[in-house]
Structure 1
Amino acid sequence: MADYILQAEGLTKQFSGFTAVSDVSLSLERGTIHALIGPNGAGKTTCFNLLTKFLKPSAGEIRLNGRDITGLSPDAVARLGMVRSFQISAVFPQLTVLENVRLAVQRRRGGSFDFWRSKGVLRDLEPRALELVEAVGLEDVADVTAEALSYGRKRALELATTLALDPEIMLLDEPMAGMGHEDIGRITNLIRTAAQGRTVLLVEHNLGVVANLCDRITVLMRGEVLAEGDYATVSKDPRVIEAYIGSAGHA
C-alpha cells in the first residue's frame, strides 16, 4: 500500500465566478519527485499556491501526513515540515552566501534571528551552514554577496536556504525558470541530491527536466487533472499531446 505524505481531494478555487482549479485530487508518495505540469493557463500556479496555503481553497481538503492542514497558514505548514520556493529567487541580496544560509539555519532553531546575540553564538551555526553551502556547490563564493551571483547560483543558494529548514517535503515553483542550458543540468542534479530522504513536488515547464527527474507526473488542463502517471505514460497520452500541441498552435 502506497505511503502518501501529501494528499488533496476535491481541491477547487474560484475567483469572482471564474474557476481556476476544479475538483483536483492529488497524492504524493513519500520519497518521490512529483511534477505538476500543463500548458499556460492550466491552473498549475493556483494549485501550487493552494497546496502551500498561500491561497485558501473554495472547496476541498489538504492533508499532510494524514493531518488536515486545509485551514492552516503557510508558516504553520512550514513548521510541520513542508517548505516551498518561489519563481523569483528569494534571498537577501546584500548578505553573503554564508550569511543567507546561516539565517535559514537560525530560523530552523525555532527562535528569533539572534541579531543581538554574540558572534560566538552565530559561529556555532556555521558548520551546518557551510555544509549546506558545499552541498549546493557554492563553497567558492561563500563570502560573496548574493546580489553578485549569477541567476543559476542564486537558485542554488535558495535551494540551500530551503534545505536549511530541514523540510520533509519541498515544493519548488519552476526551479529552472530563466536558466541557461549550462545551469539546468547542475540544478537538476542538486534537486535530485536534495530529494534523497525527502519528497519533492515541482511545477516545471521544461519537459526534458521533468522526464529526467520525476517519478510521477500530474498534468493539468483548464484547472482539472487531465492525466497522471510516469513520463512514458503521460507523454504518449493523446489528450496530453493535444493539450500541448493545441496550446502551441494557438499561441
Structure 2
Amino acid sequence: MHKNALQDDYIIEAEGLTKTFSGFSAVRNVNLKVRRHSIHALIGPNGAGKTTTFNLITKFLSPTAGCIRFNGEDITALRPADVALKGIIRSFQISAVFPRMTVGENVEIALQRPLGCSYHFWQSERSLGNLTERVDQLLDAVGLLGYRNRPAAGLSYGRKRALEIATTLALDPEMMLLDEPMSGLGHEDVERISELIRKVAAQRTILMVEHNLSVVAALSDNITVLAAGQVLSEGPYSVVSQDPRVVEAYIGSVDE
C-alpha cells in the first residue's frame, strides 16, 4: 500500500454529490476525497449507489447537485471525453476488448488515441514502429507479452481483464476507476489481477468498486462505504470493518 501519500493531497474531491432519478435519490449528499497515489475502494450492498457515484465522477451522468474537483479544478460541468482527456479513465464491469483483433492490436488502438490520430489500420508496421516498443512494454507489464499475436477472443476471462488494464494504461491516465475488476474471476485470476492493480497503483491513483472484501482488505489504503446512496463509513479496512453500521448493512448482502 501507499502510505507515503500526503494526508491532504487529494486528487479527487466530491462535495454534496447528489443524483435524483424521477424523484428517487440514487446518491444523496456524498462527500468523497481520494488521496493521490492511493488505492481507494468504494463498497456497499447492492443498490448502494456505487456505480452511480462512478458515473458521476466520470461524467457519464450529470449530478443533480454538488461539485467534483480533479487536481483542484472544478470538472462538474465537463463532458466524459473532456474528463478522460484530463486523465481520469474508467474500466467497466464487463470486459471491453475487441475480440477479433490480436492482443497487441487492442493495445495499439488505445495507444493511438492520445496521439490524436485516427486508427491507422492500413499503414505499414514500419510506419507505426514507434508504437511497437510501447505495446510490448504494456503487455509485459500485465503479463501478456507472450499472447501478443493471439486473438483477444481466445484469452481467458482473467487475461481479458489484464488486457483491459493494459489498454487503459495505454491512455496514460493519472487516475483509474475500476468497476468490479474481480467480477467473474477464479481464485488464481483474482490473485493475478490484485497484484497487477497493486503494481499499477505505484504511479497512479486507483478508485475501485469491488464486492470481494478480501481483495478490498488486501489492496485498499482507504475505503468509503455507501448504503442507500449515502456515505455510511470511511477509513482503512481495520476501522470500517468494525463499524456496527457496516456489519449490519452487509449481513446477507456480500459474497466474500
Same fold (TM over 0.5): yes
- In terms of mean alpha carbon deviation, does 72-81 or 220-229 score higher? 72-81
Distance 2:130 2:124 in 1: 10
Q: List structure 1 runs of 4+ shifted beyond 6 angstroms.
A: none
Structure 2 unaligned spans of 5+: 1-6
- Greater helix proportion: 1
Distance 2:245 2:207 in 1: 23
Distance 2:177 2:219 in 1: 14
Aligned residue in 2 for 1:148: 154
Partner SS for 2:251 = helix
Aligned residue in 2 for 1:87: 93
- 2:154 aligned with 1:162: no
Residue by residue, what CA displacement relative to the aligned partner does 1:45-72 show, whole Å, maximum 9, x if unpaired? Answer: 1111111111111111011101111111
Aligned residue in 2 for 1:7: 13
- 2:227 aligned with 1:221: yes
- 2:254 aligned with 1:242: no
Residue by residue, what CA displacement relative to the aligned partner does 1:186-236 show, whole Å, maximum 9, x if unpaired? Answer: 000000001111100000000000000000000000000000000000000
Residue type of the partner of 2:56? L
Residue type of the partner of 2:160? K
Deviation at 1:109?
A: 1.3
Deviation at 1:124?
A: 1.8
Residue type of the partner of 1:10? G
Deviation at 1:140?
A: 1.5
2:31 is aligned, of 25, 30, 55, to: 25
Residue type of the partner of 1:48? F
Partner SS for 2:128 = helix
- 2:195 aligned with 1:189: yes
Deviation at 1:119?
A: 2.7
Partner SS for 2:153 = helix
1:125 is aligned, of 125, 131, 136, to: 131
Partner SS for 1:217 = strand
Q: 1:184 to 1:246 in 2, by over 3 A?
A: closer
Distance 2:230 2:183 in 1: 23
How do 1:164-183 residues align onto structure 2 when only pairs under 5 Å count?
Answer: 164-183=170-189
Deviation at 1:121?
A: 2.1
The total of aligned residue pairs comes to 248
TM-score by length of 2: 0.94
| Cα RMSD for the two superposed structures | 1.1
Partner SS for 1:108 = coil
Deviation at 1:115?
A: 3.4
Residue type of the partner of 1:204? E
2:81 is aligned, of 72, 75, 83, to: 75
TM-score by length of 1: 0.96
Distance 2:28 2:76 in 1: 16
Percent sequence identity is 64
